[in-house]
Chain A
């Protein structure tokens, strides 16, 4: 059961990702990319990372799709067809090599849900045990993001703010 659902989700991910790259129409590519994000959020939810799934569904499938669509409508209609040059020879060799290297490295990753893996044995138990007493916050993810790692989150917020400022500086012009 578990394996079947995972395989179906992964196949859907691969199909939508390949479709977003291969399809000729930019509008279809954007919608396929939104679908890809939605399936990715289903994968996160299936793996138990509900917060990540929520962010992926809202930002990846919702906001990013809207931003892409608004950008597409702001560009000239002649841009909406892709012209695809053949890939360079170096990429044809280097990218499969990179993929093989990544698969080789993935062999050494700990099993999913392994209680002895470094990620779940280093500092996570302290967070899990102390979160509710420390901050009256049952959701440990929120407690880690906003309390234990608050400075990191503040700098992330600065990054988002900077992105908005950069977009405004680059794109907002006076009508000539």
Chain B
């Protein structure tokens, strides 16, 4: 179990840095189509911001509750990714062929762009939740069992 940090400097910096890191993670995630970045890096940055919150404020702080809630979402990212593939199959194409996403009013290239965005969100969720989950697994056996069972 991780205790909250004693130093006021660390806590103040954490309060300031965590939202900045999260905004940067979202920027990297959605800017991945236009520059370096993408789902994997964005997910790691988002997960790291929440890991920083847990390391700074401890497992029991109100900021860490969101991390515990996120752990219930293990697998949602995979579901989004494979679900987009399934939607393409419903639309009449191959698995993960975004050109067959059945959205009216969009040309083929825009559909593929939308498919890239959706799957990137899936990857980012999966990576972020996995990173948080590994840190919790390594640090807090009894806490995590209590929060998952109770």
Q: A: which residues have CB within 8 A of B?
A: 50-51, 53-55, 58-59, 62-63, 66-67, 70-71, 73-74, 133-139, 141-143, 145-147, 150-151, 153-154, 157-158, 160-161, 163-165, 167-168, 170-175
**Cα–Cα distance between A161 and B139 once the two chains are bound (Å):** 19
How far does the Cβ of A158 sit from chain B's closest Cβ, in whole Å?
7
User: B75 — which chain A residues lie within 8 A by C-beta?
Assistant: 161
How far does the Cβ of A156 sit from chain B's closest Cβ, in whole Å?
8
B34 touches A138 (CB 8 A): yes
- For residue B67, CB closer than 8 A to chain A, the reply is no
B133 touches A168 (CB 8 A): yes
Known: A147-B98, A161-B130. A59 touches B81 (CB 8 A): no
B35 touches A139 (CB 8 A): yes
A171 touches B138 (CB 8 A): yes
Q: B: which residues have CB within 8 A of A?
A: 28, 32-41, 44-45, 47-48, 51, 55, 74-75, 77-78, 81-82, 85, 95-96, 98, 109-110, 112-113, 115-116, 119-120, 122-123, 126-127, 129-131, 133-139, 141-142, 144-145
**Cα–Cα distance between A43 and B109 once the two chains are bound (Å):** 34
- Closest A residue to B117 using CB positions: A146
User: A168 — which chain B residues lie within 8 A by C-beta?
Assistant: 74, 133, 137
User: B133 — which chain A residues lie within 8 A by C-beta?
Assistant: 164, 167-168
Known: A151-B96, A161-B75. A136 touches B38 (CB 8 A): no
Beyond the given pairs A137-B34, A175-B142, 17 more chain A to chain B contacts, judged by CB atoms under 8 angstroms and listed by A's residue number, are: A51-B38, A63-B51, A137-B112, A138-B34, A143-B116, A146-B119, A147-B98, A150-B85, A157-B77, A157-B78, A157-B123, A168-B137, A170-B137, A171-B141, A172-B136, A173-B141, A174-B141
A74 touches B139 (CB 8 A): yes
- Closest A residue to B142 using CB positions: A175
Known: A54-B36, A146-B119. A164 touches B145 (CB 8 A): no
How far does the Cβ of B114 sit from chain A's closest Cβ, in whole Å?
9
A51 touches B138 (CB 8 A): no
B74 touches A164 (CB 8 A): yes
